[in-house]
Structure 1
Amino acid sequence: MITRKCVLATLAAFVTMYALGYAIYEWILGSFMAENVGTATGVMRDPPSFLHISLGQLAGAGLLATVLSWKGVKSAMAGARAGAAVGLLLAAYYGFMMLGTTNTTTMEAVFADVVGSMVMLGGAGAVVAVVMGRGGD
């Protein structure tokens, strides 16, 4: 069941993921990821479509809030751990599937994405847990 808390947690996670995602994938890993796109050419959008990035982050935030709600996570530390675990599994799933089926990534980029996703979703998981742990509904 979607509750008011779940919607608020999704929105809070969205803002967190958007900010952390920009910091991680643009400022910290931007040049590294650009150098590790695999052998495919012309696959990076310039400029990126921020509408589609936002929709993806919103869907990811909803997934994270739903999973942490089902798990009953209430503390920031438990949310960070659970979020990091979700980030690891999602990034490893997507990265290895892309590595196995396309020429758009490298093993190094997959590992960097796994770490980046763990940090991003770990931070968002902490925020989700705090919002979910607040009183009332």
Structure 2
Amino acid sequence: MTDNPLKNNKRYLVSACLAGVNCRYDGQSTPVETVLELLRQGRALPVCPEQLGGLPTPRACCELQQGRVMNTEGQNLTEAFTRGAAEALRLSQLFGATHAILKSRSPSCGYTQIYDGSFSGALIPGNGIFAELLLKHEYLMLTELDVEDES
């Protein structure tokens, strides 16, 4: 069990899709009550690194393949993902966040586990582009799977 975000005074960077923003690749969101409560308290900043990198919504599904972000159409979108991750980090630092709650398995936000790049639904250990950048900046990381049962 992780430290309950609702029972501390930290500021959080959160994946915008977990805050109810329709920014996922499929144009949907996956709201999580803990994240919504952090927003109501003014302690969370929602960001979508993929949108901040200039990608449209909806967009073709992407996965990491040998360090590159590829979509189902064979396009290499690594530059957009990297640019968006840098901008999301900058915004997070302005907000004063030291913690993050990110969308699991995402090629941007996935933390500890991501899709294997085959577009088959198979999972492997690893981090998305944005999650990796946050780790380098010593953010404390959670996914929605860590907080769903705590609200």
Structure with bigger strand share is 2
TM-score, normalisation: structure 2: 0.30
Query: What's the TM-score once normalised by structure 1's chain length?
Result: 0.32
Q: Which has the larger radius of gyration?
A: 1
* Structure number having the greater helix percentage: 1
